[in-house]
């Protein structure tokens, strides 16, 4: 991955969280959890979420929650301005 947020330090942080996620101790850290329950079921995929500025990690998140939040943030910064104010 070319994004520095996902290099060595990110992988090490994931390794630290892995035992807790796989033992069923972890809930989704996303601000808005989209799953039926915040609990991250052992054996299911999970992402390591980070703050909007990418300076630190927030904790494990369901992939849908993590990727939806990132897309929402990205879309908010790339909106085309309207031709006029309504």
Please provide the DSSP assignment of 9-72 as one string: HHHHHHHHHHHHHHTT--B---SS--SSSSB--TTS--EEEE-TTSSSEEEEE-HHHHHHHHHH
**Does 82 fall in a domain?**
no
Distance of alpha carbon 63 from alpha carbon 77, whole angstroms = 21
**Does 70 fall in a domain?**
yes
**Does 39 fall in a domain?**
yes
**Does 79 fall in a domain?**
no
**Does 15 fall in a domain?**
yes
Q: DSSP readout, 54-77?
A: SSSEEEEE-HHHHHHHHHHHHHHH
pLDDT band at residue 17 under the 50/70/90 scheme = very high
Structural domain that includes position 34? 4-74
pLDDT for 7: 86
Mind listing the pLDDT tens digit for each residue in 20-66?
999 999 999 998 899 999 999 999 999 999 888 888 999 999 999 99
pLDDT at 73 over 60: no
Comparing 86 with 47, the larger pLDDT belongs to: 47
**Does 83 fall in a domain?**
no
**Does 23 fall in a domain?**
yes
Our count of domains for the chain comes to 1
pLDDT for 70: 52
**Does 81 fall in a domain?**
no
pLDDT for 81: 55
Comparing 22 with 6, the larger pLDDT belongs to: 22
């Amino acid at each position: 991955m070319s994004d520095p947020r996902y290099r060595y330090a990110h992988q090490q942080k994931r390794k630290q969280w892995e035992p807790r996620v796989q033992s069923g101790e972890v809930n989704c850290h996303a601000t808005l959890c989209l799953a039926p329950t915040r609990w991250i079921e052992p054996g299911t995929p999970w992402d390591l979420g980070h703050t909007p500025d990418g300076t630190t990690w927030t904790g494990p998140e369901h992939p849908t929650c993590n990727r939806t939040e990132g897309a929402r943030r990205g879309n908010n910064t790339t909106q085309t301005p309207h031709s006029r104010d309504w």
